[in-house]
Structure 1
Amino acid sequence: MKTRYIRSVAHIPQLSKDEREEISEVEKWFSFTATEYYLTLIDWSDPFDPIRRLIIPDPGEIEMDEGDLDPSGESTYTVAPGLQHKYARTGLLLVSDRCGGLCRYCFRKRLFVAGSEEVFPDVTAGIAYVRKHPEVTNVLLSGGDPLMLPTETLRRIITDIRTIDHVRIIRIGSKMPAYNPMRISEDQGLLNLLREYSLPDRRIYVMSQFTHPREITPQAEEAITALLSAGVMILNQTPILRGINDSGEVLAELFRKLSFIGVSPYYVFQCRPTHGNHIYSVPLEESYRIFEEARSMVSGIAKRARFVMSHATGKIEIVACTGEYVVMKYHQAADPEEMGKVIVCRRNPSAYWFDDYVTFIDECNLSAVHDGRSTQPIREAPGADTLSE
């Protein structure tokens, strides 16, 4: 079953004339793309349908002039054309500036505006950089969506990477299992490519992004089964989003359905403060509550996800909330010295991002807190609310 790509809301007959006109103002700022298949998942009789909210532009995206087009500071870590090297063992290649659908909460909106030059069709320089850096054990293909590339283009990229002995894992970040699962299940060439290069000691991982349980359709299950049969490992990541999956019950159902089809929940992200994203954001402490409620409702296999923020300084995991404090830890860090560092902040129910906690430092006695790596006491870092050895 082929599916058509729709790149303007003017071609969605289920929207009224007034709705199309209102939404067209959003399209002047942020692009729209969807597949015909994905639009069939929307209950058009429900104006608050979560699938509709996920893909159809909302006037609220342009009502507030706040946020950043690069909230995680990715430009800081660009070391070669199209290649980011933020974490020692991972190289991230931006190989595509197209997606099967444009998520309204996308944190890389900047790639879909005129003049963006972050994605390079020629990945030669990026792969050459990886070749010279033996600490890089895995390469993440991202974008945009790598599965929007022709299969032969993807083959050339994967074949080149597989000539680098120290790269043991290739990851493909893709929402195509949700947006256009037939791209996977009906392309035998793609499945042959994955089967050829996902080896017993050098696996290919697909990092899927199922965001709501209704995206896990029979067609999506067929795509997942095809990937698993090709020897691919599949991990899922999703942000917590207002009006889409911001309840423990919905997130738990997502975790359960993922585990049933052989996909491991991996990361649950705090929605990044990208320009236009505020209407999809949930305060961090509310997100943590939703995350823990969801985990309490599922089996161990379904509760393996971690709740993190992809901050400019690293992946900050939210570990716990007490009556007064939020406890966080660097799950990944751009500065290797920060790895495992514990962060304790006074609770702030209106905080959406790590930076919102900077002024909420508490003067409590922290001498008994440790970072899990040594027996030395942790002291309060000057000028911030982080804890270090």
Structure 2
Amino acid sequence: MPHKVSFVRDLEELPLSAEEKERLRPVAEKYPFFCSSYYLRLINFKDPADPLRRVVVPEEGELESWGRVDPSNEANYTVMEGVQHKYDSTVLVLASDRCAALCRYCFRKRLFLRGSERRPERLRNLRELVRYLEGHPEVSNVIFSGGDALMLSTSRIKELLEAVIHIPHIRYIRFGSRLFSYWPERILNDPQLLELFRRYSRPGKRLYVVTHFDHPRELTAEARKACDLLLRAGVHLLNQCPLIRGVNDHPVVLAELFRELAGLGVSPYYVFQCRPTLGNRPYAVPIEEGYTIFEKARGMVSGVAKRVRFVMSHALGKLEIAALTRETVIFKFHRAARNTDTGKVLVYARHPEAYWLDDYSELVEEVPLEGDLPQAM
């Protein structure tokens, strides 16, 4: 019999000791706890270091004074409520402000905070979005994210697709979703959603779903079936995840994740440096340590599993953490907010305790890409 999914908001429902619940209550009051019963069943609560427990159960270190509400300055690139335009050819839409569980290291936890720090940022005016896209022919792709884009009703997803897909210069559409990890039944039990994707994912207007698997144990039979159903519906699947302390900060774990994903037909896409968001200190791995873990993992896989990149979503753009030497760390603009930074290489003196680009102070060399950039198509 299939498991009936419910959603848990109260720490009292977790199999923790009374003393532990009391210690964690102040954390959950500041950074809310919320999780699907499906995911909670995957956790070994007898193991305090269980990696899936680390993903969703509060940690006292979250109350440490560290990080910012919006470390990538997404507000600077917001062109209307719920719509960001940071890179010329890509528009990001916060289509939903709901998730099936809350990752403790969430970089947009401002959407879920209680009180004055919470910001209403969800897309509300679809017509205004369409007008914006029609007025920006340089935009070739749209990302529906959030929150979790697949937490929307199937009818709302259909509205979004029908509004955007007919704009001539939109070549492909991406949906960002953690549901494959947290609530795969959302996909398994909705044949209308699969039919919708099958109808709209076609040559020249392809649909992509960017999944978020952090750990191989999240690749359950249900999650694998959900991925396979979308692949059979003509949707391309990619995976991105952050590097998180105590979850996937080991080469063997990351390599297994890359290998399993590739075998499923889900291309490993990005591993992100954990953003220095409020409350994220217990989950962050220093950049240089993270690079070493990542490269060791890549050294254990081949082919499609090796295509993944280690990147940082900084306010200046998406920076690939490209190399370490004995004395320096090398960053390359994988995607730049300013076109003049495209392909630029930044070389800094090593700083083993750096968690973000801003932590580096000694710029050794800055190498721009030579020649004029061709006009984007």
Q: For this structure pair, what is the TM-score category when the shorter chain's length is used for normalisation?
A: over 0.9
Secondary structure of residue in 2 paired with 1:26:
helix
Please give the alpha-carbon distance, in whole angstroms, between the structure 2 residues aligned to 1:353 and 1:360: 14
Please give the alpha-carbon distance, in whole angstroms, between the structure 1 residues aligned to 2:45 and 2:8: 17
Secondary structure of residue in 1 paired with 2:259:
helix
Query: Following TM superposition, by how much is the alpha carbon of 1:124 offset from its aligned partner in structure 2, in angstroms?
Result: 2.5
Amino acid at match of 2:5: T
Please give the alpha-carbon distance, in whole angstroms, between the structure 2 residues aligned to 1:277 and 1:310: 15
Alignment map for 1:1-389 (pairs within 5 Å) = 1=2, 2-12=4-14, 14-62=15-63, 64-113=64-113, 114=115, 115-357=118-360, 359-362=361-364, 371=368, 373-374=370-371
Secondary structure of residue in 1 paired with 2:55:
helix
Query: Following TM superposition, by how much is the alpha carbon of 1:372 offset from its aligned partner in structure 2, in angstroms?
Result: 5.2
Contact 2:67 2:279 in 1 (8 A): yes
Amino acid at match of 1:21: E
Secondary structure of residue in 1 paired with 2:142:
strand
Amino acid at match of 1:8: D
Secondary structure of residue in 1 paired with 2:289:
helix
Query: Following TM superposition, by how much is the alpha carbon of 1:165 offset from its aligned partner in structure 2, in angstroms?
Result: 1.2
Contact 1:73 1:312 in 2 (8 A): yes
Query: Following TM superposition, by how much is the alpha carbon of 1:126 offset from its aligned partner in structure 2, in angstroms?
Result: 2.1
Amino acid at match of 1:340: G
Amino acid at match of 2:171: R
Deviations 1:119-144 (A, max 9, x none): 13333322321121111110000110
Amino acid at match of 2:91: G
Moved more, 119-128 or 218-227: 119-128
Moved more, 287-296 or 161-170: 161-170
Query: Following TM superposition, by how much is the alpha carbon of 1:163 offset from its aligned partner in structure 2, in angstroms?
Result: 2.0
Please give the alpha-carbon distance, in whole angstroms, between the structure 2 residues aligned to 1:82 and 1:119: 4
Contact 1:95 1:123 in 2 (8 A): no
Please give the alpha-carbon distance, in whole angstroms, between the structure 1 residues aligned to 2:86 and 2:43: 37
**TM-score (normalised: structure 1):** 0.92
Please give the alpha-carbon distance, in whole angstroms, between the structure 2 residues aligned to 1:370 and 1:345: 12
Secondary structure of residue in 1 paired with 2:31:
coil
* Percent identity for Structure 1 against Structure 2: 50
Please give the alpha-carbon distance, in whole angstroms, between the structure 2 residues aligned to 1:122 and 1:236: 29
Contact 2:93 2:123 in 1 (8 A): no
Amino acid at match of 1:33: F
Contact 1:91 1:136 in 2 (8 A): yes
Contact 1:139 1:170 in 2 (8 A): yes
Number of aligned positions between the proteins: 367
Please give the alpha-carbon distance, in whole angstroms, between the structure 1 residues aligned to 2:369 and 2:333: 12
Amino acid at match of 2:183: N
Contact 2:27 2:59 in 1 (8 A): yes
Secondary structure of residue in 1 paired with 2:210:
strand
Secondary structure of residue in 1 paired with 2:363:
coil
Secondary structure of residue in 2 paired with 1:22:
helix
Structure 2: unaligned runs, 5 residues or longer: 373-377
Deviations 1:199-235 (A, max 9, x none): 1221110010100110001110000001101100011
Please give the alpha-carbon distance, in whole angstroms, between the structure 1 residues aligned to 2:135 and 2:22: 52
Secondary structure of residue in 2 paired with 1:343:
strand
Query: Following TM superposition, by how much is the alpha carbon of 1:22 offset from its aligned partner in structure 2, in angstroms?
Result: 1.8
Please give the alpha-carbon distance, in whole angstroms, between the structure 1 residues aligned to 2:249 and 2:58: 19
Q: What does residue 387 of structure 1 align with? A: none
Please give the alpha-carbon distance, in whole angstroms, between the structure 2 residues aligned to 1:24 and 1:125: 41
**TM-score (normalised: structure 2):** 0.95
Query: How well do the aligned residues superpose, as a CA RMSD in angstroms?
Result: 1.4
Deviations 1:51-109 (A, max 9, x none): 000111111101x1121110000000001121000000100111111101100000001
Please give the alpha-carbon distance, in whole angstroms, between the structure 2 residues aligned to 1:313 and 1:372: 16
Contact 2:346 2:363 in 1 (8 A): no
Secondary structure of residue in 1 paired with 2:195:
helix
